[in-house]
Homo-oligomer: A and B are copies of this chain.
Amino acid sequence: MNNFNFFSPTFFVFGKGRENEAGKYVKRFGGTKVLIHFGSGSVIKSGLLARVKASLKAENIYFTELGGVQPNPRSGLVYKGIEICKKENIDFVLAVGGGSAIDSAKAIALGALYEGDFWDFYEGKQIEKALPVATILTISAAGSEGSMGTVITHENGMLKRAANGEPLRPVFSILNPELTCTLPNYQTACGATDMMAHVMERYFTNTKNVEITDRLCEGILLTIINETPKALSKPNDYEARANLMWAGMVAHNDTCGVGREDDWSSHNMEHELSGLYDVTHGAGLAVMFPAWMKYVMHQNVMLFAQFAVRVWGCEMDFENPENTARQGIECYEKFMNSIGMPIRFSELGAKSEDIPTLVKTMGLGKNTLGSFVKLTEEDVAKIYELAV
């Protein structure tokens, strides 16, 4: 096991009706002038936004609003949010929505305390401070409610880039599984795929002797595999939604990833896909992950066999573990299909002739991607080919 630090100071407020406590927690965490940041009209139509505002009013907390966050959130709205924060001396950003609203809120919180262009942080500048961010989550997926990450797409070139830093961990996050019951099945499935990817990108590692995090990863994957079909067949299944919602948080606050090298190649390759085609992140991952697994499997066949046996319940082929390893990847693909996810380029609307563009935009050059297997540009192209 590698040395590590683990710090997850977010206060999680979980359960039915708890968005009505938003005002109480904004106050507890020192917010006095709040920017409420959200996405589509659904948070308005569902009455969620009104409940949140009522809760802030009840505590006499000033707020202003900025809606309109798109999936794969864009830089344009971030600049607008930063301007509002600076003009109105906002001291707290409250995201209401999914990963996109939260990631956009984190970007605004970063930019609000920075004189330069917020995009600097997405090009590698170290994060030292940000306004406090809190979240009211409406979809189990990105894990941004407990993570220190944010992903934004810059409209200049449609570059999708991530930034990470401790000040971006939400001070509190309200997780009410009821809010996810109205999601279209496609969104639920995309969310589950994203959550599984967060676990698997930690699971496939070269670090040896990490049983505790192996087991935690497997437990989270098993939960997602069992609970997602329940949520799809009965969208109002509160219990399935609740299990998925906590799984999504634990999958990404690093509880299950500490002490081991992780590998975000699939996420990175997907970012290029959704940057170019604006596909849903989860759907892009469902396509990229099996391709990556097939390409890197020989790095550690026994780890892939363990994945097959413990997560998918495959029988171990003791004479030929590679068969078991392959079976695990097939199970993942079949599961993805069963929940309505694509597993090939064509299902996404992606085209094989764009592969050179995808590789070029990634901008690896002579560098490599990932750690489980260090991928060159040539490797990346081959993985995209496997996904065709």
A246 interface residue (CB < 8 Å to B) = yes
The digit string for A306-327, where 1 denotes a CB below 8 A from any CB of B, is 0000000000000000000000
A167 interface residue (CB < 8 Å to B) = no
Q: How far is the CA of A220 from the CA of B219 in the complex (A)?
A: 10
Q: How far is the CA of A211 from the CA of B239 in the complex (A)?
A: 9
On whether the beta carbons of B246 and A259 are closer than 8 Å, the reply is yes
A156 interface residue (CB < 8 Å to B) = no
On whether the beta carbons of A7 and B12 are closer than 8 Å, the reply is yes
Q: How far is the CA of A177 from the CA of B4 in the complex (A)?
A: 12
A255 to nearest B CB, angstroms?
6
Within 8 Å by CB of A1, from B3, B4, B243, lies B243
A242 interface residue (CB < 8 Å to B) = yes
A210 interface residue (CB < 8 Å to B) = yes
Q: A218-B219, A255-B255 are in contact. Are A212 and B15 (CB under 8 A)?
A: no
- The interface-forming segment of A92-100, A222-230, A279-287, A347-355 is A222-230
B residues less than 8 Å from A212 (CB atoms): 219-220, 223, 227, 243, 246-247, 250
B residues less than 8 Å from A8 (CB atoms): 8-9
A132 to nearest B CB, angstroms?
14
A215 interface residue (CB < 8 Å to B) = yes
Interfacial residues of chain A within 182-226, with CB under 8 A of chain B in the complex: 208-213, 215-216, 218-220, 222-223, 226
